[in-house]
Amino acid sequence: MHTRTLRSLRRGAAAGALIALLAISGCSSDGGSDAAANPTRSISDDQAAGVPDDQASPASEESSSPSKGPVLPDAKLTPATGSFTAEQKKYLHGRVPKNMDPAAVLQAGQETCQRIERTAAHDKDAAIGALIAGDLPSADDAIPQLCPKQKPLLDKAATGFADGTRKKPAPGTYRALTSAEGCTWKALGAEGKVLASGPGPDAPKKVTAKIPSGTRTFVSSGCYAWLPA
């Protein structure tokens, strides 16, 4: 129980660092679209990019996930004004609960794109780490359909894995996507034998882990996410 609580606190610290990074990235890459007014019911990609992150509500983030209940048929996926593009409709398919404005669901996906774009502009590792850790709702769907320019980040994230327990990891050298203190790891072989562990007492801020052949389980804590070095 104590270990689980400690792990939750460390993960929370890493997530807090990501939130802080999102907060300081208040200016989008186009140099000023953040000054836009509050979004309308019908929202375009450019308009969504101008919505500050602090206007994204938990409810809108949840709406970016595929709906588990009755959904609007594709024929009724229309905004109050204007129209959706083919890619926007593809994203909305099966995602809009009945009696909900599809533009609000689209906005949630666009906000996910906005966050990944802003974060990547300041720190690509932080953006990739957020994708690996699952900190951005429905990014796997939103990026290919709503902001395909960010797909290389998604592809890179697919080569890594999140902090915690990893079964049968591929041997090699990996780097932790955090500079916070407290990142530790172990590579375990048959019967839980420790094959390698780290970091040492004089470890640098950037932690790397060398996973040897024969590793059955890789366990890390406080490391946020891992990428091949």
**pLDDT tens string 198-208:** 987 676 778 99
Residue 58: is its pLDDT beyond 60?
A: no
Residue 21: is its pLDDT beyond 50?
A: no
Query: What distance in Å separates the CA atoms of residue 14 and residue 4, rounded to the nearest whole number?
Result: 15
Residue 68: per-residue pLDDT: 67
> pLDDT (tens digit, 9 = 90+) per residue, 78-89?
888 889 999 999
Of 67 and 99, the structure prediction assigns the larger pLDDT to 99
Of 108 and 204, the structure prediction assigns the larger pLDDT to 108
Residue 64: per-residue pLDDT: 52
What is the pairing mode between strands 161-162 and 184-188?
unpaired
User: Dmax over Cα atoms in the chain, in whole Å?
Assistant: 63
Residue 157: is its pLDDT beyond 90?
A: yes
Q: CA dihedral defined by 149, 130, 113, 88, rounded to 10 degrees?
A: 90
pTM across the whole model: 0.68
| DSSP H or E run through 161 | strand 161-162
What's the rounded mean pLDDT across residues 121-140? Answer: 93
Residue 66: per-residue pLDDT: 65
- Lowest average pLDDT, out of 51-55, 62-66, 149-153, goes to 51-55
